[in-house]
Amino acid sequence: MSISKQIVDDFVANDIAFVTTVPCKQLGGVIEEVEARPEIYHIPSNKEDEGMGLCAGAYMGGKRPAIIMQNTAIGVTINTLVTLTQFYRMPLPMLISFRGELMEPVACQAEMAIHTKPLLQQLGIPTYHFHKQDDVRELDAILKYTFMSSKPVAILTDATFWGGY
């Protein structure tokens, strides 16, 4: 089974029914899989903070949301994570491509990669890092933990996890 299919199976098994995305090359497969599932309303957003607003509304409307985005979007969404998702105490699984790690071909990506974990730690966001393919086995537990704790939770997925570029 493909890794993207496994991930989206876990989404569906955890009743995630509203997913917003901003593409990253590494996330192409998983976004395609989200789009293909009838259980999920896929709503592409133009910016990740907008996407988090959509997710907040969906959550209050009774649907479990998730966002799929690149780690550079942490820089875009800090205010929203703090003053909306955390302040109103809402759950939000964030499946994040961790660009700028080993095997990265684009130098600019290394810049935000350096800041990604420190920013998440500073924000008090529980963070999991998928490096080996097997790490995906923890996703189900991470999703359950996210909705149990009503917090935004980051799942960083690096190039090694996705099998290179």
Partner 1 sequence: MIRSEILREIAPILRDQLVVCNIGLPSQELHMIDDQPTNFYMLGTMGLASSIGLGLALSQPKTVVVIDGDGSVLTNLGTLPTIANNVADNYILLIVDNGSYGSTGDQPTYAGKKTSLAKVAEACGCENVVECRAEETGEVLQKAIDGRKMTVIVCKCESGNVKVPVITKDPVVIRDRFMQAVAS
Q: Which residues contact 51 (CB under 8 A, 6 or more apart)?
A: 20, 21, 22, 43, 45, 67, 69
Distance in Å, CB of 81 to partner 1, minimum: 10
Asked if 149 is part of the footprint of partner 1 (rule: CB under 8 A), the reply reads no
- Binding to partner 1, residues 62-81 (CB under 8 A): 62-63, 65, 79-80
C-beta of 59 vs 130, nearer to partner 1? 59
What secondary structure does DSSP assign to 44-106, as a single string?
Answer: E-SSHHHHHHHHHHHHHTT-EEEEEEEGGGHHHHHHHIIIIIITTT--EEEEEEETTSTT---
Asked if 55 is part of the footprint of partner 1 (rule: CB under 8 A), the reply reads yes
Asked if 92 is part of the footprint of partner 1 (rule: CB under 8 A), the reply reads no
Asked if 121 is part of the footprint of partner 1 (rule: CB under 8 A), the reply reads no
Which candidate, 71, 42, 37, places its Cα nearest to that of 155? 71
C-beta of 77 vs 157, nearer to partner 1? 77
- By the criterion CB under 8 A, which residues form the site for partner 1? 18, 41, 43-47, 49-63, 65, 79-80, 83-84, 87-90
